[in-house]
Amino acid sequence: MPGYSQLIPLLTAAGILLAGNGIQGTLITLRASSEGFTPALIGLMGTAYFAGFALSCLATPHLIRRVGHIRVFAALAAVASAATLMLVLVLDSSMWMAMRFATGFCFAGLFTVMESWLAASSKNTNRARILSVYRLIDLGANAGAQFLLPLFGVLGFELFAIIAMLFAVSLVPISLGDRSSPKPPEAFSFDIRIVWRISPLACAGCLTLGMTNSAFRLIGPLYADAMGLDTAGVALFLSAGILGGAALQFPLSYLSDRFDRRWMIMGATFGAMIAGLLLSNVAPGNQILVYAGSFAFGAFALPLYSLSIAHANDQAEPGQYVLVAAGMIFFFAIGATCGPLIASLVLDTFGAPAFFTYTSLVHGALILVTFARMAIRPEVVDKGRSSFSFLLQSSPVFIRMAAGKNGSGAGRAKNGK
């Protein structure tokens, strides 16, 4: 396993790249609204973006196998930069959908490169923490970038140019790094059935996150606008959610490295569901509760991605990391392809508060799936056992384990598949 210092170029590039991607989603939503696009049309743009995501999951692993992680990163970042500039050159809904599709294709590939790289550089005992550092960089870059909105506004050219510059500059640390990227897989076949068998819960988790987190970033600004927030308020609303995710990202990841990750997934999902119900009942104009609810929603909803992919990689063989990265992004993309569109239709039909009723219903479904998976395959980690593990074992699920099934969080890659 390479030293952590060898991951610095990758993490630096990720921060620059993800700052641009985070502000781009908000900018496009607000700019499209100011140009007179309907909420349904804005939702379709989100659908186009994540349709590109899904297609990229099939193509990018083959590109990685042919030319390696670094070259694929450079090519996709360059295309994303060009697509961003095209958005402001041609203010047409059809062109915007096409460019969003292209950007989605690029970013799914970029995420596959970065996440498979990090998975190959970690172990079951520290994987969630390494991924949490990556997610903290993502969330911090997103939160900071949101405040470019009130600084430059949404109607000019400047923000589009800044985003394109960020995508281009992200190539520098990757290109000048020490070439410590993992070896490309010798053979690759994208089989979604294999991904599902590796971890059904992680697949369901990423599907749920696609339906909720993508809607929060792309349709959330419409909710905030309907609740009476100005442009600066919308930026603060989104930043509050991102900062909330940063607050609990490492603590939840640390606990999931010591205990059964599925309990962390369930707890975080329950918290996201409650926060969504709070936001669905806030009266318009009550800015304090809107910001607090956004912080709470992000604190529980955003860490779910790193918890899910860590759980999937625990079960995978070393040669399957690219497959798992592509598979998790594929399931996320499937959810995200329909999530923003469904959320926009719910908001348009039932009003802004119904947006978070939708997210709470989806999170509630994931809680049921988690319970079902724990009943089918009970297991508990064998490291760091404490009074917490005694609490887990007292549940009916873990009583069944005493009858003869034995699982190990540290050994999930070898046992219990």
In 3D space, the residue among 155, 150, 160 whose CA is nearest the CA of residue 103 turns out to be 160
Q: Is the pLDDT of residue 68 over 90?
A: no
Which class for 315: exposed (0-12), middle (13-18), buried (19 or more C-beta within 10 A)? buried
Q: Is the pLDDT of residue 33 over 70?
A: yes
Rg value, the chain, Cα: 20
- pLDDT at res. 11: 85
Q: Residue 245's pLDDT band (boundaries 50, 70, 90)?
A: confident
Helices 321-350 & 354-376 angle (0-180, nearest 10): 140
What average pLDDT score do residues 389-398 get? 42
- pLDDT at res. 291: 93
Q: Residue 382's pLDDT band (boundaries 50, 70, 90)?
A: very low
Report in angstroms the alpha-carbon separations of 302 from 150, 209, 214, 270, 398. 24, 8, 10, 13, 28
Q: Is the pLDDT of residue 172 over 70?
A: yes
What are the φ and ψ backbone dihedral angles of 172, each rounded to 5 degrees? -65, -55
Tens of pLDDT along 282-303? 888 788 899 999 999 999 998 8
Q: Is the pLDDT of residue 407 over 80?
A: no
At position 40, the amino acid (one-letter code) is: A
- pLDDT at res. 401: 41
Report in angstroms the alpha-carbon separations of 402 from 379, 380, 398. 10, 11, 7
Candidate from 79-88, 314-323, 384-393 with smallest mean pLDDT: 384-393
Candidate from 98-112, 117-131, 240-254, 320-334 with smallest mean pLDDT: 117-131
What structural domains does the chain harbor? 4-179+191-377 (1.20.1250.20)
Token representation of residue 86: 């095209």
- pLDDT at res. 187: 63
Q: Which residues of 96-131 are buried (b: 16+ CB within 10 A; e: fewer)?
A: bbbbbbbbbbbbbbbbbbbbbbbbbbbebebbbbbb
Token representation of residue 83: 């697509």
Report in angstroms the alpha-carbon separations of 309 from 50, 133, 198, 242. 18, 14, 11, 19
Candidate from 53-67, 172-186, 307-321 with smallest mean pLDDT: 172-186
At position 378, the amino acid (one-letter code) is: P
Residue 214 near residue 46, CB atoms below 8 Å: yes
Report in angstroms the alpha-carbon separations of 15 from 48, 136, 166, 212, 297. 24, 9, 10, 23, 22
Cα distance between the two ends of the chain: 24
The length of the chain is 417
Q: Residue 5's pLDDT band (boundaries 50, 70, 90)?
A: low
In 3D space, the residue among 410, 391, 409 whose CA is nearest the CA of residue 399 turns out to be 391
% the chain with pLDDT above 90 = 19
Q: Residue 4's pLDDT band (boundaries 50, 70, 90)?
A: low
Tens of pLDDT along 356-372? 999 999 999 999 999 88
In 3D space, the residue among 377, 384, 53 whose CA is nearest the CA of residue 199 turns out to be 377
Which residue carries 């724990």 as its tokens?
Answer: 374
In 3D space, the residue among 26, 364, 29, 44 whose CA is nearest the CA of residue 208 turns out to be 364
What are the φ and ψ backbone dihedral angles of 323, each rounded to 5 degrees? -60, -45
What average pLDDT score do residues 406-413 get? 40
- pLDDT at res. 186: 62
What average pLDDT score do residues 149-153 get? 81
Q: Is the pLDDT of residue 412 over 60?
A: no
Token representation of residue 240: 């509050």
Most confident of 166-175, 273-282, 397-406: 273-282
- pLDDT at res. 286: 83
